[in-house]
């Protein structure tokens, strides 16, 4: 199947139809990025009157297939085998590449999660397809059915629009946390085709010895995120951040160096290589505002930063800037929020001022 072969264009691109998405699972449960793929895939399929086809692999996936249908999937192509409940590169990439060769999708989307990226380029090479990585905007041109795959580049300062005109399928990985999870449609009908598969031993030489699950803070769904950076100066700083987050009913975020220092676990990381958040309120505490961090939080509704350096880059991304030592400012903030809670101002003009969610 593999071998050194160049990317031959599709002999007839019109043979390729429908929008396919890969549904990533963990222990057979659909992950949030899987639902995000259904949302963006459905929108494109409807635009050109085609079907949304979801690829689902696992040990026991019948309920998950129904769930995918309820979110808008028209056809579920499933492969079931007990050994597929854990992701492994070779069996997954071989089974999915076979689906692609048989079914000839026009578009194939995979979440740009770690396992999604592990998988996507193997399939692209195997199927001689073009793939655009880590897209933040996706659209399909109605007349040509060409995928417009847009991805940030040059340190997030530019958006590149990338096309794949002659090769099929047109593949893309889509950044998690960008595309909204669609509403469930109770009445939606779909076709479920699950086949049982046997996987060749040669593909199972990789053993997964263990999976140490982390308590995952889903930052992407949080309404308030309080993030700490290197300005905290010490690991204990995160207990202060934690207090503020608790008081605001939010979650704790962090910059990558703070994670690398071991001050907090990686699942709190916001940014290019962490999670992308868009809360109602984002508090950046002791964070310089390097672009790799900014790209994970810039779409927050209101941004408040605390930084001793008035010229820190975070300033231009902030609605409010507190130019003070965080160890002075955060206790005052905590105090004021507690005061507010004890004696909330009488709601005078509550109507009409509700913020957009």
Partner 1 sequence: MIILALEIIVLVKQVPDSQEVVIDPVTMNLNRSLTRNVTNRADENALEAALQIKDKVDAHVTVISMGPPQAETTMIECLARGADRAILASDRFFGGADTYPTGLTLAATIKTFGKFDIIFAGEETSDSSTGHVGPGVAEFLDIDQITYASKVDFKDGYITAERELEDGTEVVRVPTPVLITVLLNSNVPRRQTLRRKIDAMKQGFESWDHEKVGLQPEWVGVRGSPTIVRKMRPIKERERAAKKVDLAGIPDLVKELYQKGAIKLESE
Ligand X SMILES: Cc1cc2nc3c(=O)[nH]c(=O)nc-3n(C[C@H](O)[C@H](O)[C@H](O)COP(=O)(O)OP(=O)(O)OC[C@H]3O[C@@H](n4cnc5c(N)ncnc54)[C@H](O)[C@@H]3O)c2cc1C
Ranges within 333-352 binding partner 1 (CB under 8 A): 333, 336-337, 339-341, 344-345
Should residue 273 be labelled a site residue for partner 1 when binding is judged by CB under 8 A? yes
Should residue 269 be labelled a site residue for ligand X when binding is judged by CB under 6 A? yes
- From ligand X, partner 1, none, which one binds at residue 231 (CB under 5 to 8 Å depending on kind)? ligand X
Which residues have CB under 8 Å from 329's CB, separation 6+?
306, 322
Torsion of CA 19, 24, 30, 36, to 10 degrees: -50
Q: Are 63 and 179 in contact (CB under 8 A)?
A: no
Q: Which positions from 64 through 93 interact with ligand X, judged by CB under 6 A?
A: none
- From partner 1, ligand X, none, which one binds at residue 308 (CB under 5 to 8 Å depending on kind)? ligand X
- Tell how far CA 321 is from the center of its chain: 29
Q: Both tokens of residue 176?
A: 């998690």
- From ligand X, partner 1, none, which one binds at residue 227 (CB under 5 to 8 Å depending on kind)? none
Q: Which positions from 107 through 136 interact with partner 1, judged by CB under 8 A?
A: 113-115, 117-122, 124-126, 128-134
For helices 237-247 and 326-342, give the axis angle rounded to 10 degrees: 20
- From partner 1, ligand X, none, which one binds at residue 293 (CB under 5 to 8 Å depending on kind)? ligand X
- From ligand X, partner 1, none, which one binds at residue 307 (CB under 5 to 8 Å depending on kind)? ligand X
* DSSP symbols for 236-297: THHHHHHHHHHHTT-EEEE-HHHHHTTSS-GGGBBSTTSB----SEEEEES----HHHHTTT
How many Å apart are CA 3 and CA 216, to the nearest integer?
Answer: 39
Should residue 320 be labelled a site residue for partner 1 when binding is judged by CB under 8 A? yes
Please select the residue that binds ligand X; options are 70, 128, 148, 292, rule is CB under 6 A. 292
- From partner 1, ligand X, none, which one binds at residue 102 (CB under 5 to 8 Å depending on kind)? none
The site map against partner 1 for 290-309 (x = CB under 8 A) is --------x--xxxx-----
The site map against ligand X for 152-191 (x = CB under 6 A) is ----------------------------------------
Q: Are 44 and 107 in contact (CB under 8 A)?
A: yes
How many Å apart are CA 329 and CA 313, to the nearest integer?
Answer: 19
Least Å distance, CB 264 to ligand X, is 11
How many Å apart are CA 356 and CA 185, to the nearest integer?
Answer: 23
Q: Which positions from 171 through 230 interact with partner 1, judged by CB under 8 A?
A: 176, 205-214, 216, 223-224
């Amino acid at each position: 199947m593999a071998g050194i072969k160049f990317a031959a264009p599709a002999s007839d691109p019109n043979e390729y139809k429908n929008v396919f998405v890969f549904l990533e699972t963990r222990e057979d449960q659909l992950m949030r990025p899987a639902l995000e793929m259904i949302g963006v895939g459905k929108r494109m399929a409807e635009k050109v009157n085609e079907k949304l086809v979801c690829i689902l692999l696992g040990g026991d996936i019948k309920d998950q297939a129904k769930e995918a249908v309820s979110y808008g999937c028209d056809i579920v192509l499933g492969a079931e085998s007990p050994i597929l409940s854990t992701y492994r590169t070779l069996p997954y990439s071989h089974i999915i590449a076979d689906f692609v060769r048989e079914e000839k999708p026009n578009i194939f989307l995979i979440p740009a999660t770690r396992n999604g990226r592990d998988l996507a380029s193997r399939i692209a090479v195997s199927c001689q397809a073009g793939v655009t990585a880590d897209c933040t905007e996706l659209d399909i041109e109605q007349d040509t059915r060409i995928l417009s795959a847009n991805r940030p580049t040059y340190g997030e300062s530019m958006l590149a629009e990338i096309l794949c005109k002659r090769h099929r399928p047109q593949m893309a990985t889509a950044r998690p946390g960008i595309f909204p999870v669609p509403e469930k449609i109770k009445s939606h009908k779909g076709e479920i085709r699950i086949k049982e598969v046997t996987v060749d031993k040669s593909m199972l030489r990789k053993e997964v010895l263990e999976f140490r699950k982390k308590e995952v803070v889903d930052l992407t769904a949080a309404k308030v995120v309080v993030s700490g950076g290197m300005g905290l100066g010490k690991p204990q700083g995160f207990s202060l951040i934690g207090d503020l987050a608790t008081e605001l009913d939010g979650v704790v975020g962090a910059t990558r160096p703070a994670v690398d220092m071991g001050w907090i676990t990686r699942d709190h990381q916001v940014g290019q290589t962490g999670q992308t958040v868009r809360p109602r309120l984002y508090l950046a505490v002791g964070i310089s505002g390097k672009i790799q961090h900014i790209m994970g939080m810039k779409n927050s509704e209101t941004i408040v930063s605390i930084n001793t350096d008035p010229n820190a880059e975070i300033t231009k991304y902030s609605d409010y800037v507190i130019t003070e030592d965080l160890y002075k400012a955060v206790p005052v903030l905590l105090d004021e929020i507690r005061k507010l809670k004890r004696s909330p101002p009488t709601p005078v003009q509550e109507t009409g001022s509700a913020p957009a969610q």
